Amino acid sequence: MVSRVHGRSVLRIEKLRLAVSGRHLFGTLSCELRSGESAVLCGPSGTGKTTLLNCIMGLTTPDDGAIYVAGENILEMPKRRLAEHRRTYIGMVFQFGELLPELSPVENVAIAALLAGQPRRKAYQDAEALLGDLGVPVSGTPTGLLSGGERQRTAVARALITEPVLLLADEPTGALDREARESVADLLFTLPRVRDCALLVVTHDEAVAGRADRRFDLRGGDLAETRA
């Protein structure tokens, strides 16, 4: 287990290089994130932001470089260990939540805990408690019938149930109206301190970007850091 000492490096990317369809997405891309820190990743559509998150999750293999998650280079791991490492250390929130609409929020969140090997009873209890903390009404209502903001809070809960050291989010407020956007952004940016994780959010939304500790812009195949 990785110790939860505040400020520990949880993501370190070194000289990442990737070309897709003959186009160089990443040249020598490097960055580091520590627990307790939040960062946003900005940049025009098509520059490779989602691809970078996929690389960090070990779903896309770059051509060269290293990606240390919780101190271990995931590019040197065999597939099975990589999947386990991802489940243990990374939580991911997608733009449209990617939840199962027929299931209740508790079921959606508990599934992630069950897949991580938690006993059934604990998975359901933890899911209920976490949803309560995050302000999602705990009832049998199918997730598909919740408001957009409640669904995204459920998606955040599902990402957090395994207590990840690294929380990734790909345009998590992109499909929300203004009020829900504010409340989901408020929630996300409290997490690094409250849960002692690092948070990396891809966003186009300047109001969201302004809340982060650090800001990276993806241009010319590298990350340029500017103050958030």
Ligand X SMILES: Nc1ncnc2c1ncn2[C@@H]1O[C@H](COP(=O)(O)OP(=O)(O)O)[C@@H](O)[C@H]1O
Binding site for ligand X (CB under 6 A): 20-21, 25, 43, 45-51
> How many Å apart are CA 56 and CA 61, to the nearest integer?
9
Report the relative pairing of strands 214-219 and 23-34 from DSSP bridges.
Answer: unpaired
Considering the complex, state which of residue 50 and residue 60 has its C-beta at the smaller distance from Mg ion.
50
Smallest gap from residue 95 Cβ to Mg ion (A): 8
Considering the complex, state which of residue 42 and residue 82 has its C-beta at the smaller distance from ligand X.
42
Residues that bind Mg ion (CB under 5 A): 49-50
Smallest gap from residue 43 Cβ to ligand X (A): 6
Smallest gap from residue 162 Cβ to ligand X (A): 24
Q: Binds 46, which of Mg ion, ligand X, none (CB < 5 to 8 A, cut-off by type)?
A: ligand X
Q: Binds 154, which of Mg ion, ligand X, none (CB < 5 to 8 A, cut-off by type)?
A: none
Q: Report residue 172 as tokens.
A: 């998590």
User: Among the residues of 76-175, which ranges form H helices?
Assistant: 79-89, 105-115, 120-133, 148-160
- In this structure, which amino acid lies at residue 187? L
Would you say 41 and 225 are in contact if contact means Cβ atoms under 8 Å apart? no
Smallest gap from residue 103 Cβ to ligand X (A): 28
Q: How many other C-beta atoms are found inside a 10 Å radius of the C-beta of residue 186?
A: 10
Find the angle CA(223)-CA(94)-CA(214) to the nearest 5 degrees: 30
Considering the complex, state which of residue 37 and residue 170 has its C-beta at the smaller distance from Mg ion.
170
